[in-house]
Amino acid sequence: MTELDHTHDGSARSWVRSAGPMSDFPLQNLPLSVFKPAGAEGAFRGGIAIGDRILDLAALSDGSLLKGLAAQAARAASQPSLNALLGMGRPAWRALRHGVFALLRDDAPAGARLACETCLVPRAGAQHALPVVIGDYTDFYTSVDHALNIGRLYRPDDPLSANFRWMPIAYHGRVSSIGLSGERIRRPRGQWLAPGATTPVYGPSQRLDYELELGIYIGTGNTLGEPIGVADADGHAFGLCLLNDWSARDIQRWESTPLGPFQAKNFATTLSPWIVTMEALAPYRLPWCRAANEPQPLAHLDAEPVRQRGAFDVQLEVLLETAADRARGGAPQRLSATSFRHQYWSIAQMIAHHTAGGCNLRAGDLLGSGTVSGPGAAEAGALIELARGGVAPLALENGETRSFLADGDAVILKGWCHKPGYARIGFGECRGEILASDAPARSSPAS
Positions marked active-site: 146
Assess whether the previous peptide bond of 258 is cis (omega < 30° from 0). yes
Question: Contact 108/16 with Cβ under 8 angstroms?
Answer: no
Which residue, among 199, 236, 272, 189, has the nearest Cα to 363 in the 3D structure? Answer: 236
Residue 199 buriedness (CB in 10 A; 0-12 / 13-18 / 19+): exposed
Torsion of CA 358, 360, 365, 366, to 10 degrees: 0
Neighbouring-strand partners of residue 247: 209
Measured distance CA(58)–CA(74) in Å, rounded? 8
Contact 96, 279 (CB under 8 A): no
Residues 6+ apart with CB under 8 A from 230: 300, 301, 302, 303, 306, 348, 349, 351, 352
> Per this entry, what is the length of the chain?
447
Integer angstrom CA distances of residue 336 from 74, 378, 438: 38, 5, 30
If one counts every other C-beta atom within 10 angstroms of the C-beta of residue 389, the result is 18
Neighbours of 154 (CB within 10 A): 10
Distance in angstroms between the alpha carbons of the first and the last residue of the chain: 31
Helix axes 68-76, 90-104, angle to 10 degrees: 100
